[in-house]
Amino acid sequence: MAAPPIKSPARPGVSDRPTQARSATGNNIHTAYLNDSSEIAKALKILRDQRAPVQLSFDGDDTSYTAKILDLAGTEFLLEDIHPRSGLSKMAPGTEFSLSSRAQGIYVHSGSNRVVAVESERGVPFFRIVMPSTLLYQQRRRAARFKLPMRVAVAGASVEMMRAEHDKDSAGGRLSGRIIDISAGGCRANFVSPVTLAMEQNEEVRCRVEIPNMLNFEAQATIRHSNYDVGKRMLSCGIELIEMQVTDRRRLEHFIESIRRSSDRG
């Protein structure tokens, strides 16, 4: 049975926001005001990875606009796909707006966001937004990953990692593995012989993801978790894609959308 929807709390005004994080639990819902930039970034990454619609509200305009988070970039995040298209004219540099969104099991709201710049990639606009200093966050459960369909797995979905602290031509410096599941924010993969050592949590690597005739890109990544089986000499890693080209990010997101649609039909 699907979890019941999370009731949206009243939007907080600037004056009643706490200066320290505050959290509570009830009915399996965790509620917090996030002040730490890394925690705010994690919440926005969930929305990015789920391709969740983000509702935008502007003072003096009752129209409901939606957008999607394209990526995060330092102290900014990127919005794209504004609907209705009349909302594009609202997103001028300096404009302030509030946003809210739901993904699988979470709800977020930020009352004061500012457009930094308008850019485009191959004629498709996207918008740089200042990272909010405070974010209302509710979470019910973690979002599910997407296993690769059989037709994709058979084609050979692979990831190659280049470790900065090792010689790229050594056994420990360049590792090739098989992708097990994937999201718009990363993947989980298994690496086999000649792996001889474990990866460090939060280790930064350069990686290349390749799915024949579907995806081929490079990205800066971080190892979020790893497990090394000494007997099998097999390494399993959770990889977060931190920095990549906007074009590649969009291609990855479209690929995830196609997997989601296939799983919904199945």
DSSP states of 104-121: TTEEEEEEEEEEEEEEEE
At the top level of CATH, which class does the domain 146-265 belong to? Answer: mainly beta
Dist CA 138 CA 7 (whole Å):
10
Rounded (10°) CA dihedral 225, 229, 235, 236: -50
Q: Return the pLDDT at 140.
A: 66
Q: Return the pLDDT at 195.
A: 65
Query: Please, are residues 208 and 179 in contact by the beta-carbon 8 Å criterion?
Result: no
Dist CA 188 CA 181 (whole Å):
5
Query: Please, are residues 192 and 229 in contact by the beta-carbon 8 Å criterion?
Result: no
Query: Please, are residues 100 and 87 in contact by the beta-carbon 8 Å criterion?
Result: no
Q: Return the pLDDT at 202.
A: 82
Domain residue limits, the chain: 14-139, 146-265
pLDDT truncated to tens, each residue of the chain (266 aa)?
444 443 434 433 333 333 334 444 444 567 889 999 999 999 999 899 888 999 999 999 999 899 999 999 999 999 999 999 999 999 999 999 999 998 867 899 999 899 999 999 989 999 999 999 999 998 764 445 688 888 777 778 999 998 876 555 555 578 889 999 988 888 999 987 666 566 777 889 999 999 988 899 999 999 988 888 877 778 889 998 888 898 998 899 888 888 888 776 65
Pairing of strands 124-130, 135-139: unpaired
Q: Which fold has domain 14-139?
A: Pnp Oxidase; Chain A (2.30.110)
